[in-house]
Chains A and B, each alone.
Chain A
Amino acid sequence: MRILAYIGQRLVLLIVALLGVSIITFVVTRVLPGNPAYLIVGVQADYSTVAAVIEKLGLDKPIPEQYFLYMKQLFAGDLGSSWRTGNPVTYDLKSRWPATIELATIAMLLAISWAIPLGLVSALKKRSITDRLAKILSGLGVSIPEFWLATLLILVFFAIFHIAPAPIGRISRASPPDLITGMYLIDSILTGNMTALKASAKQIILPAVTLAFVIGAPLLRVTRAFMNEVLESQYIRSARAMGIPKQSLIFRHALPNVLLPVTTMIAVLYGYLLGGTVLVEYVFAWPGMGKYAIDSINSSDYAPVMAVVLLSALSYLIIYLLTDLLHFFIDPRTR
């Protein structure tokens, strides 16, 4: 029963946080220089045309009133329209949000699969070759800019060795699968479309590897540091003094304790990825949320900016909630 009360409390907090985010984003976008009306009508338009557009967009009203109108619209399920693409924002996001989720998820899984094992092994075998390799890789990962690594990978695997396809979005030399979730890999599998699956898998490899390397570095460091700390703890020493074999010391005694900080780190990184990975999306022409957000900001396209920020905040908050629930099961102290 405690867990239900806890979830309820967190959901209330989630709504409060989203309201806060919406107010800040709304005010900041309106206060920043740049009026969409001028961009819409072009530099040659006369004053009355501009004024008419401003009035039509509702930008002549005071900001609190504009916000109130926006929220009313939002609660009716309408995210507004983008003047840049000419589409309703919901329509634009329908393809872009799944694109970002797909890339973020593949990148996260890749990062988990290399960083966590390497972090654990390097903590278990200090000063070994693996440990040194881990140090070098995590050092590179935190210092190399992701756009640079992306460009390097394109140069090597596409331009020189022709192993990877051209960095031109989510799929090439095949038509996209019938859309169900909007995620090409999943939709290809669901519809049994092997051609689309292969083509989209090839496209996602390089951007996913780029992100997995960059976000894997902090994950490796956290895993390594906490595994070290746990291995030196009194309870591991005590368990060893009771004759518990090494395998059980690592997997049954140490690992569950390391899982807490590591899952927190995963949540932080995944939340970051879901907010859109602007630079990598740009380099690989990936039609995701990050690229959409930047293009919208550059053209003072208010509705998409609001939508993207709110969606990012929502994903962050949901991931944190799920992580806390997970900790509820792993860590008896939180119960």
Chain B
Amino acid sequence: MSNTSPLIQIDNLSARIRNEDQTLFPLQGVSFSIERNVRMALVGESGSGKSLTASAILGMLPTGSQITDGTIIMNERNLALISEKEFQKIRGKEISIVFQNPKASLNPVRTVGSQIAEVLRVHERINQKQSHDKAIQLLESLGLPDPKKRARDYPHQYSGGMAQRAALAMAMACQPSLLIADEPTSGLDATLQQQVLDLLTQQVQHQKSSLLLITHDISVVGATCEQVAVMYGGRIMEVGPTELILRRPMNPYTEKLIESFSRSQDGKMTSIPGTVRPPTTELKGCPFADRCHMANKQCHTHLPELAPKGDRLIACINV
């Protein structure tokens, strides 16, 4: 296996959710790859399919949903096809995740240390004592004061910031090659946001892992991620180096998304006209066509494919 191949390559990934009364098509041909030792952001409005993409990578799609097409290649395996049992060995070991609400991510009736230690014992050949010692070390390396005592504490005794560190310690315990962070900064104030992003960056850099940062807030991407993928309507609209895309967005959707997060001179905030397209049907044309100021007839009838344009990939027939 050559080291230049991407860590994980997602190709034409499609998923379907079957409820009692309707069928949804939340992912309709998602393609992007994450390189080794790179921090990448997956941005888009809520309902664009970004969290579901993360669930698919972890093999944890909600009940009633399934992958209908496409591949997720990691280390020469297709994660779209492997069994739950095989996935158990990958989760927490090769791919890990931290969620939005770290306190709710920890089991309330077990000590934080024992929860981290269990993850270590599941994936590594170490005994009870060693795993507990290592859990304390991990908490310490994440800057938790008095880690020995803190490991014996329960989640309700932790502050939000400490819980964030504990959840990250658990996720990084087995040195995964990919860490997914699902909206880790939503609901935090600006200073805390920056702390969390710094902590994530520091951890993945230290362990030479890749980061997939899932967020609706494109403004937090710039300082953290080298690559960005913009998602809408279950498809990738534009992928490329963060600096390039933030400074010179080419896809009209990316442009509008960036605009909606930057205040104009008079302090007003703009929003993208129209509402997010519900994924109730399979796409015939561009998912953004209904809201796009540049849309023409063809946009409604032709599904734009991701195509290279300079250093980036873009899915739009008008550029």
Any chain A CB within 8 A of the CB of B97?
A: yes
Contacts of A244 in B (CB 8 A): 88, 92, 118-119, 122
Cβ of B118 and Cβ of A248 under 8 Å apart? yes
Cβ of A242 and Cβ of B104 under 8 Å apart? no
Cβ of B89 and Cβ of A243 under 8 Å apart? yes
Any chain A CB within 8 A of the CB of B154?
A: yes
Cβ of B91 and Cβ of A241 under 8 Å apart? yes
Cβ of A242 and Cβ of B92 under 8 Å apart? yes
Cβ of A242 and Cβ of B171 under 8 Å apart? yes
Cβ of B107 and Cβ of A243 under 8 Å apart? no
Which residue from chain B places its CB closest to the CB of A335 in the assembled complex?
Answer: B154
When chains A and B are docked, how far (Å) is the Cα of A255 from the Cα of B187?
Answer: 30
Any chain B CB within 8 A of the CB of A238?
A: yes
Cβ of A238 and Cβ of B99 under 8 Å apart? yes
When chains A and B are docked, how far (Å) is the Cα of A331 from the Cα of B96?
Answer: 28
When chains A and B are docked, how far (Å) is the Cα of A241 from the Cα of B167?
Answer: 12
Any chain A CB within 8 A of the CB of B109?
A: yes
When chains A and B are docked, how far (Å) is the Cα of A242 from the Cα of B107?
Answer: 13
Cβ of A242 and Cβ of B154 under 8 Å apart? no
When chains A and B are docked, how far (Å) is the Cα of A241 from the Cα of B58?
Answer: 7
Question: What are the interface flags for B58-83 relative to A under an 8 Å C-beta threshold, 1 for contact and 0 otherwise?
Answer: 10100000000000000000000000
Question: Which candidate, A51-59, A131-139, A229-237, is the interface stretch facing chain B?
Answer: A229-237
Contacts of B96 in A (CB 8 A): 241-242
Which residue from chain B places its CB closest to the CB of A239 in the assembled complex?
Answer: B107
Any chain B CB within 8 A of the CB of A330?
A: yes
Any chain A CB within 8 A of the CB of B170?
A: yes
When chains A and B are docked, how far (Å) is the Cα of A238 from the Cα of B107?
Answer: 9
When chains A and B are docked, how far (Å) is the Cα of A238 from the Cα of B101?
Answer: 10
Cβ of A238 and Cβ of B90 under 8 Å apart? no
Any chain B CB within 8 A of the CB of A240?
A: yes
Cβ of A332 and Cβ of B91 under 8 Å apart? no
Which residues 238-260 of A have a CB within 8 angstroms of B? 238-246, 248, 252-253, 256-257
Contacts of B87 in A (CB 8 A): 243
Given A241-B96, A242-B170, A243-B122, A234 and B104 contact (CB-CB distance below 8 Å): yes
Please list the residues of chain B having a beta carbon within 8 angstroms of any beta carbon in chain A.
Answer: 58, 60, 84, 87-93, 96-97, 99, 101, 104-111, 115, 118-119, 122-123, 154, 156, 167, 170-171
